[in-house]
């Protein structure tokens, strides 16, 4: 069995007293860290609540936009079929046709340059009405001439004439 000397007992007592004092001092510092943790925890809770509110608002806006989105047109199936068979041209190459107008043209049954090149004046007027375009726009922007050039593969001539 190990026996301690008087000096060893004194040192052991001092270490115990110093440990007790350090524990008391660190306890007040612990309150400070606990307070900082609680503040951080509260800030995180508020951030999560705000994030969830933003996500809910975004989902509501998406649902609203989906409710007001135009229905898929009658010709969409044929346009998709034409694209699958490789018979669909990029109508946005024609000056005056953007992606939205191209989609509406596809839904109306126009998926190639040849389809647009074959239009006559009465077909143009009907198409303008169906697409909600200003009267005479197709003729002013020369869609038929542009489509005819692109259908024949004369891309450079098209770019030169209609830039």
pLDDT digits (tens, 9 = 90+) for 11-55: 999 999 998 888 777 766 667 778 889 999 999 999 999 999 999
Task: Kindly state the greatest CA–CA separation across the chain.
Answer: 118
Domain extents in the chain? 1-69, 76-162
Task: Pick the closest to residue 106 from 152, 143, 64, 75 (CA basis).
Answer: 75
pTM for the model: 0.49
Q: CB–CB of 80/103 below 8 Å?
A: no
User: Hey, what are 30's tokens?
Assistant: 């612990």
Residues 62-79: tens digit of each pLDDT? 888 888 766 665 556 655
Across 68-72, 83-87, 127-131, least confident range? 83-87
- Strand positions, DSSP E, the chain: none
132 neighbors 108 (Cβ within 8 angstroms): no
Return the pLDDT at 91: 87
């Amino acid at each position: 069995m190990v026996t301690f000397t008087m000096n060893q007992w004194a040192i052991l007592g001092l270490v115990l007293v110093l440990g007790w004092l350090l524990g008391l001092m660190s306890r007040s510092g612990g309150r400070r860290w606990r307070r900082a943790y609680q503040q951080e925890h509260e800030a995180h809770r508020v951030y999560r609540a705000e994030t969830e509110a933003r996500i809910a608002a975004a989902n509501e806006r998406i649902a609203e936009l989906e409710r007001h989105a135009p229905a898929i047109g009658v010709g969409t199936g044929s346009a998709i079929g034409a694209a699958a068979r490789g018979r669909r041209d990029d109508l946005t190459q024609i000056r005056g046709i953007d992606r939205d107008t191209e989609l509406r043209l596809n839904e109306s049954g126009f998926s190639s340059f040849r389809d647009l090149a074959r239009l006559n004046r009465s077909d143009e007027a009907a198409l303008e009405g169906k697409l909600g375009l200003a009267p005479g726009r197709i003729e002013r922007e020369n869609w038929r001439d542009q489509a005819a050039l692109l259908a024949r593969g004369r891309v450079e001539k098209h770019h030169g004439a209609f830039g």
